[in-house]
Amino acid sequence: MTNRIDYGETPEFQKDFKRLLKKFKSLVDDLELAKIAAIEFYHVKKINNLSIFPIQGFCTEEIQVCKIKKFACKALKGRGSKSGIRIIYAFHYQSCKVDFIEIYFKGEKENEDRERIQEYLKNC
């Protein structure tokens, strides 16, 4: 496996992100930090800092669908990594690629959109 992860976004993720960006202005920088401090630590360096959780029922030998639960958002002062923002993504082992599938604020939505994940996996 290489030490470089390629990142992509689904159109649905882009739409979610734009909507949340209006409310949480620091999201662009926060996402960049999460790429390094969570995703690359977990998948490249094999360091589990308990911020990423594989979603059962969607992981195969080729793809691992995960949820980032510890996502520090500077716009949510005083909450630290327990901001309530969740990111769903798919990690492709062979190509070392991450596709962001969904981002949501836990105060607005309780869980990930499982149908969206299934649709993504169907189109891979």
Query: Does 80 or 26 have the greater pLDDT score?
Result: 26
User: Which of 3.40.50.300, 3.40.50.150, 3.30.1370.60, 3.30.2310.20 is the CATH number of 6-122?
Assistant: 3.30.2310.20
pLDDT at 57 over 90: yes
Burial per residue of 15-37, b for 16 or more beta-carbon CB atoms within 10 angstroms, e otherwise: ebbeebeeebebbeebbeebbeb
Q: Where are the domains of the chain?
A: 6-122
Kindly tell me if the per-residue pLDDT of 103 is higher than 60.
yes
Q: Would the pLDDT of 18 be above 90?
A: yes
The chain-wide mean pLDDT, for the chain, equals: 92
- State pTM to two decimals: 0.92
**Cβ count within 10 A of residue 11:** 7
Mean pLDDT of 9-20: 97
The residue to which tokens 């920088």 are assigned: 29
Q: Which residues is 85 bridged to in the sheet?
A: 105
pLDDT (0 to 100) of residue 107: 85
Has residue 22 got a pLDDT over 90? yes
- pLDDT category of residue 80 using cuts at 50, 70 and 90: low
Assess contact for 49 and 36: CB atoms under 8 A: no
Q: Which residue has the higher pLDDT, 65 or 110?
A: 65
pLDDT at residue 3, as a whole number: 64
**Contacting residues for 67 by C-beta, under 8 A, at least 6 apart:** 52, 53, 55, 86, 87, 88, 112
pLDDT score recorded for residue 1: 44
